[in-house]
Structure 1
């Protein structure tokens, strides 16, 4: 009997089909064939990234998975496993087959825990729990109609000592952005605690990615020092995703994160982006309030799950 699905290693020619699967399964994220190919082939070596595809009996890519080690985790032995299946192909066993292959790969790397994200769609949580995954924190997707949103004007003039720049202005020396990002991500609420990431790995993840637009990423300086930033990921067409917005501890409480994000959104709209999305931990009240003040509304919910391997 011919199996309903088969799982095999990702090949660069699959990049376009995998991007379609991910966009269909999680329509809020920025995902292009170029970014998929980059993630599969060019991520940090220490992450040991592996991509998989699931094909139906006709050879169509109906599901995908990416898995590897969580190099940013402060605890060793943690890995990630993200699976996605086309909504019109559910029930064929693609998700189960991808999960089994991904878990086996992580175990072979010596990982003792797999982390994943599960949409709160009434079906996926049950699937995850049946496979032994345990529910963690809740997170929210927020969306903004960037083409029509009445975005506030930027303050004019800016407060004394405050400057707005772009990440591209730091192309010659990216360490100030690296240091700010390490500090801010360490304070992000979540089940996985972030630790030290070597500079070269950070460059691969946060500078070399083809979907990060350094000219639309805003950086706020105070007294010449990086104080806050908002990372722009785009598909080069209409979609915009806030990769990370953060403020260094010494500068919090002054509205600088809002300034950075507002500047990035306004410039992105002028460059033709029409749909903006972001994600927040459900307990991150300051960022949720900031995003709602800019016009973002709730789009969907997902849960963090993990499994001991």
Structure 2
């Protein structure tokens, strides 16, 4: 543990910090659904190969900063280190972010990565300049949205459901599909691979996916929907839900390549909005890469309201990255 002249202490994250850390992260990332149970679940189910560690910054008894550092494991490219930082808005420009970043980077550099990545909020000139001084350069940008489901005109949903049924498609909540996890994994892996990023997200082993995603405390089996063609899952829109606070977040939306451009993702997403409105949810957050034109158009069509997004920055630190064998298939025989 280290303490500076202002009494700001940096120490390793503890389980008892989870609720306070979640409260801070909800302020810094307003479109995301974050709870203490979720933070602990992510820590408990993370891959050991990520070598992830977490730290907090404390002022007196208040948690005012948070950091996580680990290797990205959902890609076949080895040696990509991810840094996540959050500092309370009222306490920025006091060196807290710099101290947390130094600790996080030191942990990653000891693992001999080839590249470090970090996100910075658009419009946060101080954070961007800080990152640039440390050698980071922008590689991508993401857009962030929020929607009040109670305000959405859902009159098109019954029409879309009827048209889909005529083509052999139907909607089903995730709760009804617990016996089809291998097929859902294939769909989820395809949707993940389609996400634009600096490296392919092509390493999504079934067991880790089930443990981290499906068994997560916030994935709502009633508010998450799947479109099936016959009995095959072909499109999905899943929600993370904090029922206590009436908030939700789009966990994943996507469609198998052979079934795209038929309005199936829109159908599934409309079903999540209908459910959310009936369940008393007042906000659904979403984030998309700025080049993901199909998802951006869908959010705009559904009247999601834009929030300040993020710049994704990268810093090379070592040799060229090596590729591991990609693992996106479900268990054999499934």
The correspondence for 1:266, drawn from 264, 269, 274, is 274
Task: Give distance in 1, aligned partners of 2:49 and 2:210.
Answer: 13
Q: CA deviation at 1:273?
A: 0.7
Q: Is residue 2:250 matched to residue 1:242?
A: yes
Does the CA-based 8 Å contact 1:44-1:205 persist in structure 2?
Answer: no
The answer for the alignment partner of 2:22 in structure 1 is 19
**Which runs of structure 2 are paired with 1:146-161 in the superposition (5 Å)?**
146-154=149-157, 155=159, 156-157=161-162, 158-161=165-168
Task: Give distance in 2, aligned partners of 1:152 and 1:20.
Answer: 36
* Offset from partner CA, 1:94-133 (integer Å, 9 cap, x none): 1111111111111222322221211012322112112211
Task: Give distance in 2, aligned partners of 1:150 and 1:255.
Answer: 17
Task: Give distance in 1, aligned partners of 2:24 and 2:64.
Answer: 7
The answer for the alignment partner of 1:52 in structure 2 is 55
Does the CA-based 8 Å contact 1:232-1:243 persist in structure 2?
Answer: yes
Does the CA-based 8 Å contact 1:44-1:204 persist in structure 2?
Answer: no
Task: Give distance in 1, aligned partners of 2:85 and 2:216.
Answer: 21
Task: Give distance in 2, aligned partners of 1:13 and 1:152.
Answer: 46
The correspondence for 2:102, drawn from 100, 107, 127, is 100
The answer for the alignment partner of 1:29 in structure 2 is 32
TM-score, length of structure 2 as denominator length:
0.88
Task: Give distance in 2, aligned partners of 1:260 and 1:266.
Answer: 10
* Offset from partner CA, 1:215-241 (integer Å, 9 cap, x none): 211100012111100110111231111
The correspondence for 1:43, drawn from 46, 52, 55, is 46
Q: CA deviation at 1:2?
A: 4.6
Task: Give distance in 1, aligned partners of 2:176 and 2:302.
Answer: 25
The answer for the alignment partner of 1:66 in structure 2 is 68
The answer for the alignment partner of 1:304 in structure 2 is 312
The correspondence for 1:186, drawn from 193, 203, 214, is 193
Task: Give distance in 1, aligned partners of 2:266 and 2:147.
Answer: 15
Does the CA-based 8 Å contact 1:141-1:298 persist in structure 2?
Answer: yes
Count of aligned pairs between the two proteins: 308
CA change 1:159–1:49 in 2 (3 A) is farther
The answer for the alignment partner of 1:202 in structure 2 is 209
More divergent stretch after superposition (27-36 vs 44-53): 44-53
Does the CA-based 8 Å contact 2:45-2:212 persist in structure 1?
Answer: no
The answer for the alignment partner of 2:219 in structure 1 is 212
Q: CA deviation at 1:153?
A: 3.7
The answer for the alignment partner of 2:86 in structure 1 is 84
The answer for the alignment partner of 1:277 in structure 2 is 285
Does the CA-based 8 Å contact 1:67-1:106 persist in structure 2?
Answer: yes
* Offset from partner CA, 1:184-222 (integer Å, 9 cap, x none): 211222223211221111112211211111221110001
Q: CA deviation at 1:23?
A: 1.0
Does the CA-based 8 Å contact 1:230-1:242 persist in structure 2?
Answer: yes
CA change 1:161–1:68 in 2 (3 A) is same
* Offset from partner CA, 1:70-104 (integer Å, 9 cap, x none): 11123111121110000011122111111111111
TM-score, length of structure 1 as denominator length:
0.94
* Offset from partner CA, 1:9-63 (integer Å, 9 cap, x none): 111110111011111111111111111122223323332222110112x242110
The answer for the alignment partner of 2:10 in structure 1 is 7
Task: Give distance in 1, aligned partners of 2:227 and 2:27.
Answer: 35
Does the CA-based 8 Å contact 2:118-2:312 persist in structure 1?
Answer: yes
More divergent stretch after superposition (94-103 vs 43-52): 43-52
Task: Give distance in 1, aligned partners of 2:81 and 2:31.
Answer: 23
